[in-house]
Amino acid sequence: VAMAATRRVMRAVRVFEFGGPEVLKLQSDVLVPVPKENQVLIKVHACGVNPVETYIRSGTYARKPALPYTPGSDVAGVVEGVGEHVTAFKKGDRVFTLETLSGGYAEYAVAAANRVFPLPDKLDFRQGAAIGVPYFTAYRALFQKGCAKAGESVLVHGASGGVGLAACQIARACGLKVLGTAGTEEGMNMILRNGAHQAFNHRDPNYTEKIKACTGQRGVDIIIEMLSNVNLDADLQLLARAGRVMVVGCRGRIEINPRDTMSKESSITGVSLFLASEEERRECATAVLDGIEAGWLKPVVGLEYPLEKVVQAHEDIINSSGARGKMVLLL
């Protein structure tokens, strides 16, 4: 009787129950996934860590994966193998993903071929792991949902994290006047180097007055909001007529006065990359790949952790003060 080929095993982070960061368990005997049709198997070199992964892990998020699962969607690495009908990629190609099917916090990950993109040589794997969710989210917030136009002003509230820096780079490249906030001097310098025309410290008690003064008191056209549970009420005062707040991040409730939207006919719009249509995702991908090609899309990598320190990474992304670029796991 022919023996079945023994399947390879790998290290991967597994979540068996929802809860705090301690539920992330690194295991060394997880089976390497096999790519089915229209799927690509990637040897992971780096994987991005996104705040949304901490919400999913805690069990408080709208989307709950079936347990056990491996977190992570933004991986960068090298194609190890492809399933049937995959013609766009071959073994050895450098790639990055927007999402994975098997989970990115692992040595190997399988992804649908239409969620995999070529990683140009000018970017390293750490940068590749910082593209997917941040840049697609920023593009969606600015253009697909925010209807941004060249010549308008945008305030990126919390601009020094992964999505914030992506929004600054994209908005600047597309002709907007870009204002950004951060909580540290280092964060402010970082956003100025990445496309913001002016930076403000959101820990300064008068920072909203300074932003208003900067717009000649007319207010800003668009706000990309990473922490709406803290800032939304103040955001409504900062908007120009017909201005709009794009809610990208939120960690709790907030009280606002809806009348503030009436005086300017302003709007508050939620943004979720998970709800993008196939066509919208393709549009995001085209814009992102063009940005890499043109040279203005340069992901900024922040804190780096080995897979063994994944618990620490999840603690730090929520609790550390002042984001500086995109957090990544290195494999």
pLDDT per position as a tens digit, 167-195: 999 999 999 999 999 999 999 999 999 99
pLDDT of 295 reads 96
pLDDT per position as a tens digit, 122-155: 999 999 999 999 999 999 999 999 999 999 999 9
pLDDT of 1 reads 56
Say if residue 103's pLDDT is above 80: yes
Q: Give the residue from 3, 11, 15, 5 showing the smallest Cα distance to 31.
A: 11
pLDDT of 321 reads 72
Phi and psi at residue 60, in whole multiples of 5°?
A: -95, 0
Q: Give the residue from 153, 50, 154 showing the smallest Cα distance to 105.
A: 50
**Token couple for 72:** 């992570």
Instruction: Indicate the SS3 state at residue 282.
Output: helix
Say if residue 7's pLDDT is above 90: no
Rounded average pLDDT over 35-63: 95
> pLDDT category, 63, cuts 50, 70, 90?
confident
For the chain, list the domains and their CATH numbers: 9-130+299-330 (3.90.180.10), 134-274 (3.40.50.720)
pLDDT of 162 reads 94
pLDDT per position as a tens digit, 203-262: 999 999 999 999 999 999 999 999 999 999 999 999 999 999 999 999 899 999 999 999
CB contact at 8 A, 47 and 103:
no
pLDDT of 62 reads 86
Say if residue 113's pLDDT is above 80: yes
pLDDT of 3 reads 55
Rounded average pLDDT over 12-28: 98
